Amino acid sequence: MPILETQDLTYVYGAGTPFEKTAVDHISLQIEEGELVGVIGHTGSGKSTFVQQLNGLLKPTSGKVLLKGKDIWAEPKKIRAIRFQVGMVFQYPEHQLFEETVEKDIAFGPKNMGLSEEEIKRRVKMAAAFAGLKDNLLGASPFEISGGEKRRAAIAGVIAMDPEVLILDEPTAGLDPMGRDVLLSQIVDYHRQRNNTVLLVSHSMEDIARIADRVLVIDDGKVAMFEKTDKVFAQSARLSQMGLRVPQITKIMTMLREKGYPVSSGVLTVEQGVQEILRILGREEESRGQ
């Protein structure tokens, strides 16, 4: 059984008004437990509206969201409990920090779950470690730490609820390259250790290519593709038509292949590209030696 499933999921803004717009248009798909799924699409494609329905922040105009086979809106009064199971990290989540200390901010979600003080402390420590926050920052004011630390503190607040599904909407937006790499590494480590399900919405094709098992491409509110990462990025012409681009290294390798070099398709990272070029150079050396 998939951990998340959508059936004809549709969301219409301004229904019945002159400004009516269908943001999510009859999306049906399944997400398996333990997957790391990248979600991409141009601005206004509907990707944020889609993921906000997965934990009940938005109620579908029609269709269903199933969590472990159960309609999340079957009992509307219990929708808050769904948000503990499907955690959401918004773009610029540090804007939601408000407590006196980082520790209290991280503890806010677990407290609302009605957990014991001992369990709350355990979860705060676990979440801070996963997010890469040092112990000495826990007693600091969230308004006195760096931008990257604020971002990690906000993410730790969602991780502390120990959700079965973690959704991150543009988590690296506005961070410098080093901050972005550190945060992505923490997300990958968290996913590997918890073996839970992660959905990462991002404009960075490089980030998605590096870490996603499968990629969901949303275009004009519909599913354009939902396949393994290498298969999605192998379709560069189709992605370009949707206003998206493949990672630079994938583009370079595609150009080399078109010029007759026997490079493999599906190269997604610089590391893979280097290995592929070294492999070809090695073959050429061998043929010269013969």
Tens of pLDDT along 243-263?
Answer: 898 888 888 888 888 888 888
- Distance CA(3)–CA(31), nearest Å, equals 6
Burial class for 39, CB neighbours closer than 10 Å (0-12, 13-18, 19+): buried
**Residue 5 tokens, joined:** 């499933």
- Distance CA(196)–CA(207), nearest Å, equals 19
- Quote the mean pLDDT of the chain: 90
**Residue 114 tokens, joined:** 């009605």
- Secondary structure of residue 38 in the 3-state scheme: strand
96/71: higher pLDDT: 71
Q: In which region does residue 9 sit, left (phi positive, over 0), alpha (psi from -120 to 50) or beta (all else)?
A: beta
- Distance CA(267)–CA(274), nearest Å, equals 10
Residue-level pLDDT at 287? 58
- Distance CA(280)–CA(11), nearest Å, equals 49
- Distance CA(124)–CA(102), nearest Å, equals 10
Least-confidence region, from 57-66, 95-104, 197-206, 271-280:
271-280
Residue 141 pairs in a beta bridge with none
Per cent of the chain over pLDDT 70 is 97
Contacts of 146 (CB under 8 A, 6+ apart): none
Can you state the percent helix, strand and coil of the chain, rounding each to 5? 45, 20, 35
Q: Cα separations (Å) of 137 from 91, 125, 133, 154, 272?
A: 22, 11, 7, 13, 37
Please write the tens of the pLDDT for every residue from 117-171: 999 999 999 999 988 898 899 999 998 998 888 999 999 999 999 999 999 999 8
What is the pLDDT confidence band of residue 100, given thresholds at 50, 70 and 90? very high
Contacts of 2 (CB under 8 A, 6+ apart): 30, 31, 32, 33, 66
* E strands in the chain: 4-13, 21-31, 36-40, 62-67, 70-71, 86-89, 165-169, 197-201, 214-219, 222-228
Residue-level pLDDT at 59? 96
- Distance CA(22)–CA(275), nearest Å, equals 45
Q: Is the distance from CB of 115 to CB of 123 less than 8 angstroms?
A: yes
Please write the tens of the pLDDT for every residue from 182-240: 889 999 999 999 999 999 999 888 899 989 999 999 999 999 999 999 899 888 889 98
Residue-level pLDDT at 189? 92
Looking at the predicted structure, is the pLDDT value of residue 38 above 70?
yes
Element (H, E) at 231: helix 229-233
The number of helices, as runs of H, and strands, as runs of E, in the chain is 11, 10
Name the pTM for this structure: 0.87
Residue-level pLDDT at 138? 94
Looking at the predicted structure, is the pLDDT value of residue 102 above 90?
yes
Cβ neighbours, 10 Å, residue 87: 23
Residue 68: CA atoms inside 13 Å, Cβ hemisphere, count? 7
